[in-house]
Amino acid sequence: MKGFSRRLVRESHLSADDLIWTMIVSDSVKSREAVTSLPGVERVDIDNLVKDAKRAYDLGIPAIAIFPHINPKLKDGVGSEALNADGLIPNAIRAVKSAVPELGVIVDVALDPFTDHGHDGVLVGDEIINDISVDALADGAIILADAGADIVAPSDMMDGRVGAIRRELDQHGHHNVMIMSYAAKYASGYYGPYRDAIGTSAALRGDKRTYQMDPGNSDEAIREVGLDIEEGADMVMVKPGLPYLDIIYRVKSTYAVPTFAFQVSGECAMIMAAAQNGWADEERVILESLMSFKRAGCDGILTYFAPKAAEWLSESILDA
């Protein structure tokens, strides 16, 4: 086939419109600092976050997702810092929204960056207490919405949190703030570099298997996503991405709702490790991985590769 005919009959398309750039902002880093286990990704201060946000906008990327790297001194057992209206993330949201108002800002709702035990909820003894956690998460979501977040993304996997967040948002006049729920989030080995990046790896006690999903389950993902949609999620996410393309496909075919994948830190680290060794062609493999999400049914992808992918896509290299 000639190049022109391949373009004519191609079923899936990838562009900057599909990308959400995942960024890590820090309250203790001066300027920029590389994350060793996540080549190409940096923790940045708020000024540099704003610079990257402007770059995202210039590249045609519709939205960014911001994650916090919090000074350990601010962490405690219940993640109180998540409720600080003058905390790192609320300040980061305000800075980005005033510099680039048209860029969508997505923020995680979870306690793990703020707790001294690294869990997403409130830990009592060695148990995560679901309902107390849900109250704390809903309160945290209001702080983020007040600061100007466009989309809040509960990544904690507690039961009932989407409904609680929706009610609180509405009661506080945030009808237009959307919820992207981490609806099918697996207890995964692929989150390692992220936990290094936000400084929770060393602190994390035990694992997250009591609230994140078993990698062996697929029907359960359909139930989890269904609950979140009923509770008011505007869009849903499957996470990790590439190892769970079958889940993405099932979710999209079952519910036909806006569906996103999170190409998580470990997926990006693996590709970069191979690329840096000369064992894989970085550009080709990254764009192929992103295209596979579109083929599986995703409306968009959260990825650390967003800026480089947007640059390559503007050069139309997949057209060859």
Q: How many residues bind ligand PBG (CB under 6 A)?
A: 12
Q: By rule CB under 6 A, what string of x and - marks binding of each residue 265-284 to ligand PBG?
A: x-------------------
Write phi, then psi, for 238 (nearest 5 degrees).
-110, 140
Buried b (16+ CB within 10 A) or exposed e, 198-225: bbbeeeeeeebeebbbeeeeeeebbebb
Is 26 a binder of ligand PBG (CB under 6 A)? no
On the 0-12 / 13-18 / 19+ scale of CB atoms within 10 A, 65 is buried
Is 64 a binder of ligand PBG (CB under 6 A)? no
Can 185 be counted among the known catalytic residues? yes
For residues 164 and 135, is the Cβ–Cβ distance under 8 A?
yes
> Which one of 75, 97, 208, 239 is the catalytic residue?
239
Is 18 a binder of ligand PBG (CB under 6 A)? no
> Which one of 97, 185, 208, 252 is the catalytic residue?
185
Query: Where in 155-184 is the site for ligand PBG (CB under 6 A)?
Result: 155-156
Can 239 be counted among the known catalytic residues? yes
Is 108 a binder of ligand PBG (CB under 6 A)? yes
For residues 74 and 307, is the Cβ–Cβ distance under 8 A?
no
Spatial distance between the Cα atoms of 28 and 63, rounded to a whole number of angstroms: 25
**Cβ at position 85, least distance to ligand PBG in Å:** 20
Is 117 a binder of ligand PBG (CB under 6 A)? no
CA angle 306, 311, 312 (to 5 degrees): 100
**Cβ at position 208, least distance to ligand PBG in Å:** 6
Is 264 a binder of ligand PBG (CB under 6 A)? yes
Tell me the catalytic residues.
Answer: 185, 239
